[in-house]
Amino acid sequence: MAGSSFEYTVLTPSEEALRDEVREFLRTELPPGSYEPDLGMSATHSPEFSKKMAARGWVGMSVPRRYGGPERTAVDRFIVVEEMLRSGAPVGAHWVADRQTAPTIMKFGTDAQRERFLPAIAAGECYFSIGMSEPDAGSDLAAVRTTATRGDGGWFLNGTKIWTSGAHQNHWFIVLCRTSASEGDKHEGLSQLIVDLHAPGIEINPIPFLDGTHHFNEVVMTDVFVPDELVLGEIGRGWQQVNSELAYERAGPDRWLSVYACFEHLLRERVHGTPGARTAEVIGGITARFFALRNLSLSVSRTIDRGGAPAVEAAIVKDLGTMFEQDMIAALHDLWGAEPSLDAPTTGERMLARAVLTGPSFTLRGGTNEILRTIASRGLLGWYGLAGAR
């Protein structure tokens, strides 16, 4: 039998209490009809909302108490994220800082870096972007050409980052760059620097998203000085660190809940009483998959809390989840969609229009599913006891 670590698990009573607390918070802070729900993680940037969540201990949840965090489990974070995303809550400001920056700084950062950033992240006041992709380094991330050259007490950065979501709103980004020439293996000689998005030499140019919204930016760095105390981890270990960072972002509810609120709104708007056969078939097919995917995703969080390293499992959840989101958009549009319109009269219809337009990005962001599957395929051998076959 396949040796994956997926194992059915349910919430404990204290985890259920947390879920109920989050639901109550949302009923008070975001009563239905008082806001336009977002499509999952590409959410509205609202420092006000982020600070309210932080006051409850729901931002930077993994941060230990000694760094001002709530030191909660992966399952606790799963619960908070699940409730926020399914409501389309405005979690955009702290999103990256909470999901991947805080765990990365905790894992690779110096004590001074932890003291400096983690309390601010957990307070919902310090926001990060991701500085990985470049014009000539997409799926082939190790091809980055941004260089850091040695100066007095630090590094001078030159290069261009691209698809940098929220760079115009956030405070910092972690830049993957080349600190020494690659001789042979291009995975060597890479490093990560924590960079102030407001530092001299930074130029941020918007790249309008296809639906007219502004998430993406190009960030041009010209002789940006980064002091030694902002080098993250070890010089030359950037590739290993970045892969560890990417693993944090794969299996969460953000990979299968992007269109949930749209589904719920359309159900409320369009279905009154027992649905007819065709409508019921579509609703049933979507709901069954939500149910099983949620259990897979929750199981990954549980495994992480037990000290496991479910890398292949996480890749599988991301692949299954993001494809499901796209299939669901097609099924809902097929069933209920008129011509997609951002000016449609109802919330569900407007969300569906946004989903139709932006859905193709779901299997791209954080790395294309095709690349992800190639990585995951290597892990399958171990599951089937074929580790020696390579």
Which of 65, 183, 184, 277 forms a contact with other proteins (CB under 8 A)?
277
Pairing mode of beta strands 147-151, 128-131: unpaired
Residue 1 as a binder of other proteins (CB under 8 A): the answer is yes
The Cα–Cα gap between 302 and 70 comes to 18
Based on the shown chain and the rule CB under 8 A, indicate whether residue 275 belongs to the binding site for other proteins: yes
Residue placing its CB nearer to other proteins in the complex, 8 or 200? 8
Give the helix/strand (H/E) hosting 323: helix 311-336
Q: How far apart are CA 331 and CA 21, in angstroms?
A: 33
Is the CB of 202 or the CB of 271 nearer to other proteins? 271
Output the smallest distance, CB 343 to other proteins, in A: 23
Six-digit token string for 344 = 């449609």
How far are the Cα atoms of 115, 216, 250, 292 from residue 208, in angstroms, in the given order? Answer: 36, 7, 25, 36
Q: How far is the CB of 212 from other proteins (least distance, A)?
A: 29
In the numeric block, the tokens 């962001």 are attached to 365
- Nearest C-alpha neighbor of 361 from the set 138, 209, 204: 209
- Contact flag: residue 373 with other proteins (CB under 8 A): yes
* Contacting residue, 207, 292, 330, 338, with other proteins by CB under 8 A: 292
Look up residue 221 and give its amino acid: M
Residue 31 tokens, joined:
């009563």
- For other proteins, the binding residue among 120, 194, 283, 304 (CB under 8 A) is 283
376 lies in the site for other proteins, by CB under 8 A: yes
CB of 190 to other proteins, least distance (A): 24
CB of 277 to other proteins, least distance (A): 6
Q: What angle do CA 72, 366, 93 make, to 5 degrees?
A: 55
Residues that bind other proteins (CB under 8 A): 1-2, 4, 6-11, 16, 82, 86, 260, 263-265, 267-268, 271, 273-275, 277, 279-285, 287-296, 299, 313, 316, 319-320, 370, 373-374, 376-377, 380-381, 383-384, 386, 389
